[in-house]
A and B are shown apart, each in its own frame.
Chain A
Amino acid sequence: MATASPITDPIGFWSDQISRTTKRSLNLTRHLLGIDRAKTGATPRDPVWSSGKATLHRYRPDRSSSAEPVGPPVLLVMSLVSRSFILDLQPGNSFVEHLLGRGFDVFLLDWGVPDEDDAGNTLEYYVDGLLPQAVDVVDRLGGGEGVTVFGYCYGGLLSLLYAAGHPDDPIRNLVVMATPVDFDHMPPAMSGVGAGGIDPDHVIDSTGNVPAATVRASFALLTPTADLTTVADFWERLDNDQFLTNYQAMTSWTRDHIPFPGAAFKQTVELFNDGNGFVNDRLPLGGRQVHLSDITVPFLNVIAEKDHIVPSPSTTPLTPLVGSDDVTELLLPAGHVGLIIGNRGRTQCMPAMSDWMLAHSSVGGAEPAARSTGATTKKSKAAKQASKASGRDEAASRSASSGKG
């Protein structure tokens, strides 16, 4: 929109200025008073199972969608340190909504907000305790055709450990998104704990957890001027209603982290920061060793090219470590959160991921999990085609079969 010149068109200029200032004042008042705030996590859902603070939600199907129901159901596994509504940010800007629109039966495993009762929750509590139960419930409610487990960020780590430690569970496909495995390539603010750096015990507070403020500060340290830039953006574009709605939704997520259960945190530091356990195949869990090579189901590794929280060099080593014959790597031109929100997420990233999932699902009816080599090889080709088709301009899909079949 061109702005009128104060010299050639003074009336137009001042009328534009007055109109913008009025709009800014109204929006600022609306924002400060909390009137008509952006709705987050608005897709209708029902709790279907819970244990401790964890709740499994099932989203209601999208009745307006013309897509046929697709199986198996998808279980979204969230990180331990952030709120799960990022996966269902706003109507029209939601990964859950996208999946429902394509016919998937979508479940979300929300770990809840830990307090001092949860300080002793270990990785085993989540990986061997809660996840198998949640997958079992999803499998039963989904008709027994298996489950597509979809882990985001730290949720991806939990999903990997679970799939590796429970190879006989009804996992049909495994998708991990922005999931770090090579901790040597993590930003110092993330990898600085342990290994002669910051003592993990000094990060844990009197409740036994890493406080939410510390989690937020560690993210803020990655881009020290980001908060200030967000304020500048807010002030500059305050007259834009859509911007304000998006701003409120996004900041309500980025500024609202949750505590990290102390025992799981210390274990994470030991496993990954100290020993780089995923890359070196040293993953002790509940007194046994688990191996990524034991994951044999179709596998998709989604990498965000512009991720500053989990840089791509920390995620790419994962693909060849998994034992599946059908392995696909999707390198998408987005940031850590941009994969599932915003224009690029909606037009490129989400379709690329759901295309792969569709290619590894069956439309309409249940089909038992296919794990034979022949079936997965065929599926791998389909996945590559789907990835290529959805890659469009920038989405680079790199099939990483890498001599695995």
Chain B
Amino acid sequence: MSTPLWRQMYNAWEKTVSPPLQELTASTGFRDLMALGLRTNAEIAREVERLSRQWLHLWNLPAATDVRKLRKQVAGLERELLALRLELQRREATGASGAAAGADRHLVATNGNGTGNGASHTAA
């Protein structure tokens, strides 16, 4: 079946437009523009969040950020629990000798701020 005329026109347009568009989106100028857009967006969101939180706190109501903070703490505890469980399993598997060897590893505690936490084993 022959290609319809509209498709032939689209293909020709796409062939012309696509390479410069790809070049544009790959350029440092575009990246800088995106960085600026994302920063502005983040700052606006932060400001809106701050104002709404202050308003809600004024009436002694919890804001979404308060709930989020609590959920983060619970999630952090769960991760810590997982790390402890893994360490326990490892010690059980290695037995008495493993317990001695296990002294060179310790668990990183969960700090709950969303970074650098988790079920991590660390070699001292």
Contact = CB atoms under 8 A, between A and B. Distances in A.
A198 B37 CA distance: 10
Contacts of B4: 236
Interface string B96-122: 000000000000101011111111111
A228 B42 CA distance: 29
Nearest to A20: B1
A398 B33 CA distance: 41
Contacts of A116: 68, 71-72, 75
Contacts of A197: 31-32, 35
Contact of A189 (B3, B26, B38): B26
A206 B49 CA distance: 9
Contacts of B114: 119-120, 208, 262-263
Interface string B58-73: 0000001100100110
Contact of B82 (A51, A123, A206): A51
A285 B74 CA distance: 23
A286 interface: yes
A: interface residue count bin: 35 or more
A141 interface: no
A370 interface: no
A120 B72 contact: yes
A287 B120 contact: yes
Given A206-B68, A229-B14, A263-B115, A2 B35 contact: no
Interface stretch (A57-65, A218-226, A316-324, A325-333): A218-226
B59 to A, nearest CB: 21
A120 B118 contact: yes
B35 A224 contact: no
Given A122-B120, A206-B68, A286-B108, A129 B83 contact: yes
Given A117-B74, A133-B86, A207 B112 contact: no
Nearest to B64: A206
Contacts of B14: 225, 228-229
A121 B80 CA distance: 11
A120 B25 contact: no
Contacts of B74: 117
Contacts of A288: 121-123
Interface in A14-56: 51-52
A237 to B, nearest CB: 10
A298 B102 CA distance: 29
Interface of A: 1-3, 51-52, 116-125, 128-130, 132-133, 187-189, 192, 197-199, 201-203, 205-208, 221-225, 228-229, 232, 236, 262-263, 266, 285-288
11 contacts: A52-B82, A121-B79, A122-B120, A125-B119, A129-B82, A129-B119, A201-B42, A206-B65, A228-B14, A236-B4, A287-B124
